[in-house]
Amino acid sequence: DEERMARFEREAQVLASLNHPNIAAIYGLEGSAIVMELVEGPTLAERISAGAIPLEEALPVARQIAEALEAAHEKAIVHRDLKPANIKVTPQGMVKVLDFGLAKALSGDPATGDPAQSPTLSLAATRAGVILGTAGYMSPEQARGGAADRRADVWAFGVVLYEMLTGRQTFGGPTVSDTLAAVLKTEPDWSALPAETPPALRRLLRRCLEK
C-alpha cells in the first residue's frame, strides 16, 4: 500500500529526529524495515521477573525513563506502548527506551504533529501482525478505545515504576478482558510498596495512576 508506506516513512523520519541518550536511536529505513541502534543488556521486564528492584537502584532507572519521555513529548512524540519489555538497562546502568512511537508508525495513521490527536491505540488494532498496546500498561482512556496522548505515557510510567518497586503486576488478570477491567475499575495495591518508599514517591505514583 503506497499511501501506508509513505505515512510509515514520514513517521520514521520524525522518530529519527529523536536524539537523546536514553532513547534507542533510529538510523534510517531500508525498504520497509527500520534500522535501529543495537542495545546490549537485559530488558527491565527480565530484571523485574527476578523480583522487586531496591529503591536506590530503581530511582536512577525511573529518572532516565522520565527524561526520555520528556524529550519525546517536547517534540510531540508519544511512545504509546511503554512497558518493561520496551526498556533496556545496559551493563553500565544506562537506560534505553526502545520502540518509541513505532505503534503509530506501524498503524499507518497519518501524523498530525499534535499528540492530542493521536490515533486510538487498541488491542483490536493489529496491523502487520503487531498488537498496538499491551493490556496491563494501557491507560484507562486507551482501554476504553479513546485517543492516546502524552498522559497515556505518564500513566504507563507509573505502572512501570510500581512494578519495579514491588516486583508484581500493577493491573493483572487471567484474561485480557479481566486485565482491562482492572485498569478501568481497581486501584493498585498500595500496601505492596516497600515500607521505606518516601512519601513524595508515593504521591508521584498516585498522580501518575490517577484514572
Query: What residues are labeled active site?
Result: 81
Cβ(104)–Cβ(78) below 8 Å: yes
Q: What's the grid cell of residue 16?
A: 529519527
Cβ(139)–Cβ(156) below 8 Å: yes
Q: What's the grid cell of residue 167?
A: 516486583
Neighbours of 131 (CB within 10 A): 16
Cβ(107)–Cβ(62) below 8 Å: no
160, containing H or E segment: helix 150-166
Beta bridge partners of 130: 127
Give every CB contact of residue 198 below 8 A, 6+ residues apart in sequence: none
